[in-house]
């Protein structure tokens, strides 16, 4: 059904109404206003080197993604026969090492900050899931290198996955299946989880230090 | 109303005071630094690319191990032949207590080792009349007769120190002819491609050649030399001195200790343990005791020492 045409000049959005589109827009604006998403001030207690590892993790993920896309353009075998391809593979490898190192430090820091306090449990959960998803993505990367290490890791990893029934559907010795998981399915999963994590961080803000009396009792969570 | 009440109970991070901060500038600087670091590390240390082991190289370098493995595939005593799901029903697979997930998932990649690794590759290429006759007589023999032939040849190989050339005459039937010809095909390199082509022209599934390689001891010995064996922290390592997947240490750790390192259900036990630990890791905010660790080990006081110092110097503190 088409609404009646309005001839006089109007704004692009209706302050109220607007159907599902309007409802979704207002929900997004309410949940994550731009001044929270792109704040230009930060709480005074954010003054420690440990905070750097969040943005380092994110930027390492960007380098991993960019080098991975560059490798994907020429296909999975290219890096074995091209010097530049081998260098790009090296960039990809070291970016992954940096990513996992930065993320590990970030996680340890957030654990000791009890960063789930103040209705931030989901922020912690998405971060922890992102770590697992990145580790699993890295494993599939090692499986598709097409060298000795791929052979060995595949023959070892199969036993663990077969033991819990996963190997029946996720065959680490199936190169084609692993390529698709590594370059499509798992990056998509990592991207969604990381995006959700960032949105939650921006929405709830950086967890404040516990007050002296708060430090004497268990940190509050959504569940408590 | 409930949402408002809960929101109001949480202190606004900005109520503690704030300072100027350029989010985009910080991101761009960090991106530049991490990119530069990755480029430098790649230029300085490159990345390992040890060539894969081929069946041809295996058969040439260690013909005794190749023949022993092929014989085990033929008589159904290889690790793959007795593996169970997802390759066959020779066993029920590993269990986690009463839970048999491998068995429940079933056989999704059926492999009959004698056919897949020995007979099909021999039948796939033109053979001499003697080899054709050997294949025919083995295939048409009863299971008991086949077992008698392979058993006798296995004993003779053991007595000869694994060297087929030193095996004397005996009641082995067509088995030596089959294995000699298979070894010839392997050394020439044709067995590598034959195992790949069993599933069709377009194929990216290396399950067959990898299982065949893994059933022998050549690949494992090579991996041990590269400190990649299970009791050497296994696949978290990388060839040479590269750091590898150090983040898998919490997983590979369990393979180093009892009962995981010796149990027939070791893999299932490790995954069960990691499942519990992984759930605890994700659900830390909801687990009493675990979520109190940051309070008991007050590292947060170091992280926020400036905040607490400022608070002590200029009370009152931030609103709560």
Q: Which two tokens stand for residue B276?
A: 């519990």
User: Percentage of residues in chain A with pLDDT exceeding 90?
Assistant: 79
CA trace torsion A104, A110, A114, A120 (10° rounding): -110
Residue B88 three-state SS: coil
- Which of A116, A168, A211 is nearest residue B285 as measured by Cβ atoms? A116
The rounded distance, in Å, linking the Cα atoms of A188 and A186 is 5
pLDDT of the residue at B1: 32
The predicted pLDDT at position B4 comes to 38
Closest residue by Cα to residue A176 from B43, B204, B285: B204
Q: Is A20 exposed, middle or buried (0-12, 13-18, 19+ CB in 10 A)?
A: exposed
Q: Return the SS3 of B43.
A: helix
Residue A57 sits in a domain of what CATH number?
1.20.810.10
Per-residue pLDDT of chain B in tens (320 residues, 90 and over written 9):
333 334 445 678 888 899 999 999 999 999 999 999 999 999 999 999 999 999 999 999 999 999 999 999 999 999 999 999 999 999 999 999 999 999 999 999 999 999 999 999 999 999 999 999 999 999 999 999 999 999 999 999 999 988 888 888 889 999 999 999 999 999 999 999 999 988 888 899 999 999 999 999 999 999 999 889 888 887 788 888 899 999 999 999 999 999 999 999 999 999 999 999 999 999 999 999 999 999 999 999 999 999 999 888 875 555 54
CA distance A14 to chain B (A): 26
Average pLDDT (A59-84) is 97
Tokens 């077992």 belong to B147
Q: Is the pLDDT of residue A217 over 70?
A: no
For residue A78, being part of any structural domain is answered with yes
Which of B4, B11, B30, B248 should we substitute to test contact with A (largest number of A Cβ atoms within 10 Å)?
B30
pLDDT (0 to 100) of residue A213: 56
- Give residue-wise pLDDT tens across range A48-68: 999 999 999 999 999 999 999
Token pair 């499942």 is found at: B275
CB B68 within 8 A of CB B58: no
Instruction: Provide the domain limits for residue A114.
Output: 49-206
Nearest CB partner across the interface for A209, out of B109, B272, B307: B307
Residues B133-191: pLDDT tens digits?
A: 999 999 999 999 999 999 999 999 999 988 888 888 889 999 999 999 999 999 999 99
Q: With an 8 Å Cβ cutoff, are B18 and A97 in contact?
A: no
pLDDT in tens, A117-128: 999 999 999 999
**pLDDT for the residue numbered B275:** 97
pTM of the predicted model as reported, rounded to 2 decimal places: 0.91
Residue A177 has pLDDT above 80, yes or no: yes
Say if A38 falls within a structural domain: no
* Residue B68: other Cβ atoms inside 10 A: 20
Per-residue confidence (pLDDT) for residue A73, from 0 to 100 = 97
Tell me whether residue A83 is in a domain.
yes
Is B249 in CB contact (< 8 Å) with chain A? no
Give me the residue from B22, B51, B235 closest to A40, CB to CB: B22
| Cβ pairs A/B, distance under 8 A | 299
| Cβ partners under 8 Å of residue B254, min gap 6 | B260, B269, B270, B273, B274
Question: What ipTM did this prediction achieve?
Answer: 0.91
B92 and chain A in contact, CB less than 8 A: no
Nearest-Cα distance to chain A for B202, in Å, is: 11
Please tell me the total count of domains within chain A: 1
* Residue at A200 is within a domain: yes
Domain boundaries, chain B: 55-224
The 10 Å Cβ neighbour count of residue B66 is: 26
* Chain B positions in Cβ-Cβ contact with residue A166 (cut-off 8 Å): 105
pLDDT at A224: 35
Question: Is A179 inside a domain boundary?
Answer: yes
d(CA B152, CA A163): 34
Residues of A in contact with B271 (CB under 8 A): 160, 163-164
């Amino acid at each position: 059904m088409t609404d009646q045409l309005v001839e006089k000049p109007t704004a692009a959005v209706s302050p109220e109404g607007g159907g599902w589109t309007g409802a979704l827009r207002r929900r997004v604006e309410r949940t994550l206003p731009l001044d929270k998403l792109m704040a230009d001030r930060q709480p005074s207690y954010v003054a420690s080197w440990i905070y750097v590892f969040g943005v380092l993790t994110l930027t390492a993920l960007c380098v991993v993604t960019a080098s991975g896309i560059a490798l994907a353009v020429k296909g999975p075998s290219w890096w074995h026969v091209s010097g530049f391809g081998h260098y790009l593979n090296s960039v990809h490898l070291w970016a992954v090492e940096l990513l996992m190192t930065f993320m590990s430090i970030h996680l340890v820091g957030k654990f000791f900050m009890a960063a789930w306090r103040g209705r931030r449990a989901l922020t912690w959960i998405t971060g922890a899931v992102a770590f697992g998803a990145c580790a699993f993505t890295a494993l599939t990367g090692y499986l598709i290198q097409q060298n000795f290490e791929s052979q060995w890791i595949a023959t070892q990893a199969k036993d663990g996955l077969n033991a819990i029934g996963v190997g029946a559907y996720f065959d680490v010795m199936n190169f084609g299946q692993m390529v698709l998981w590594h370059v499509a399915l798992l990056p998509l999963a990592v991207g969604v989880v990381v995006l959700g994590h960032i949105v939650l961080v921006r929405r709830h803000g950086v967890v404040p230090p516990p007050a002296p009396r708060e430090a004497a009792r268990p940190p509050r969570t959504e569940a408590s | 109303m409930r949402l408002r009440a809960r929101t109001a109970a949480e202190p606004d991070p900005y109520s503690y005071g704030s300072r100027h901060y350029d989010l985009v500038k910080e991101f761009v600087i960090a991106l530049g630094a991490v990119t530069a670091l990755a480029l430098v590390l790649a230029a300085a240390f490159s990345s390992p690319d040890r060539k894969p082991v081929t069946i041809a190289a295996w058969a040439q370098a260690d013909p005794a191990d190749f023949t022993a493995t092929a014989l085990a595939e033929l008589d159904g005593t290889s690790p793959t032949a007795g593996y169970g799901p997802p390759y066959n029903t020779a066993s029920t697979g590993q269990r986690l207590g009463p839970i048999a997930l491998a068995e429940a998932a079933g056989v999704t990649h059926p492999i009959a080792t004698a056919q897949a690794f020995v007979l099909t590759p021999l039948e796939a290429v033109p053979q001499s009349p003697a080899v054709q006759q050997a294949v025919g007589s083995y295939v048409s023999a009863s299971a008991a007769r086949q077992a008698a032939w392979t058993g006798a040849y296995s004993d003779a190989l053991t007595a000869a120190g694994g060297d087929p050339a030193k095996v004397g005459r005996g009641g082995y039937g067509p088995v030596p002819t089959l294995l000699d010809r298979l070894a010839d095909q392997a050394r020439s390199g044709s067995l590598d491609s034959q195992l790949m082509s069993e599933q069709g022209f377009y194929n990216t599934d290396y399950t067959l050649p990898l299982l065949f390689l893994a059933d022998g001891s050549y690949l494992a010995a090579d991996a041990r030399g590269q400190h990649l064996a299970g009791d050497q922290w296994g696949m978290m390592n990388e060839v040479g001195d590269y750091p590898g997947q150090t983040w898998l240490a919490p997983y590979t750790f369990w393979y180093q200790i009892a009962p995981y390192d010796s149990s027939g259900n070791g893999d299932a036990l490790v995954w069960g343990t990691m499942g519990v630990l992984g759930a605890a890791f994700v659900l830390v905010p909801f687990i009493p005791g675990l979520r109190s660790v940051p309070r008991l080990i007050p590292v947060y006081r170091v992280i926020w020492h400036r905040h607490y110092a400022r608070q002590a110097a200029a009370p009152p503190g931030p609103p709560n």
